[in-house]
Amino acid sequence: MSNNTGNTLVAVLAGIAIGAGIGILYAPDKGSKTRRKVKDGFDDAKNDLHHKFDIVSSQLSDKLSSAKFDLEETYEDLLSNMSNKTDDVISFLEEKLADLKKQKAKLQK
């Protein structure tokens, strides 16, 4: 963050705080009502934030579960392919060995 952006952000936050303070001082309600309204507003914001956190947490958990399933499926596919390739290599080597034995038998005659 550049210095000018930081200064601007501090100035905006200070302006919001000063405005909120002046608004509370000139509020038409009694102090106890104003404090209750502020507390209720904070409680509502806290509950809303908690609800959003729960939603994001649930979505993240679902995505991680899906990614884990995909990873396990990919791993199983890889193992299956490796097993098939291993069988192919063994068959190829057995054929070559049989050919070499035939060639050896011909040479020994």
Residue 47 lies inside a defined structural domain of this protein: yes
pLDDT digits (tens, 9 = 90+) for 41-61: 788 888 888 898 888 888 888
Residue 85 lies inside a defined structural domain of this protein: yes
Residue 17 lies inside a defined structural domain of this protein: no
Structural domain for 92, as ranges: 31-108
Number of separate domains in the chain: 1
Q: Does the reported pTM lie above 0.75? A: no
- 29, 37 contact by CB (below 8 A): yes
Residue 13 lies inside a defined structural domain of this protein: no
Percentage of the chain lying above the pLDDT 90 cut: 4
Q: What average pLDDT score do residues 72-85 get?
A: 84
For the cut 60, the answer to whether the pLDDT of residue 87 exceeds it is yes
Cα 35 from chain centroid (whole Å) = 39
